[in-house]
Amino acid sequence: MRLLALLTPFNIFFKIHRMRDRIIEYYLNIHSRMYSRYYSYYSWINDDIRINKINHIIDI
């Protein structure tokens, strides 16, 4: 139960992040294909950071 309590704010945080990512993706797709290639690399790094954060919480 304590782990769930720790993870709840993160779920909200991820939802906000996903919304932000969608807006960025939409914006970049309108502007240029070159940017969307850059964005896919950026989001890959971002996902990696998120996964590390989750693993860190679970380790504690």
pLDDT at res. 47: 57
pLDDT at res. 21: 73
Non-local (6+) Cβ contacts of 31 within 8 A are none
In single-letter form, the type of residue at position 16 comes to I
Q: 4-57: per-residue pLDDT in tens? A: 666 666 666 677 667 777 777 777 666 555 555 555 555 555 556 555 655 555
Q: What is the Rg, in whole angstroms, of the alpha carbon atoms belonging to the chain? A: 14
Cβ pair 58, 3 in contact under 8 A? yes
Predicted TM-score (pTM) of this structure = 0.29
What distance in Å separates the CA atoms of residue 55 and residue 41, rounded to the nearest whole number? Answer: 22
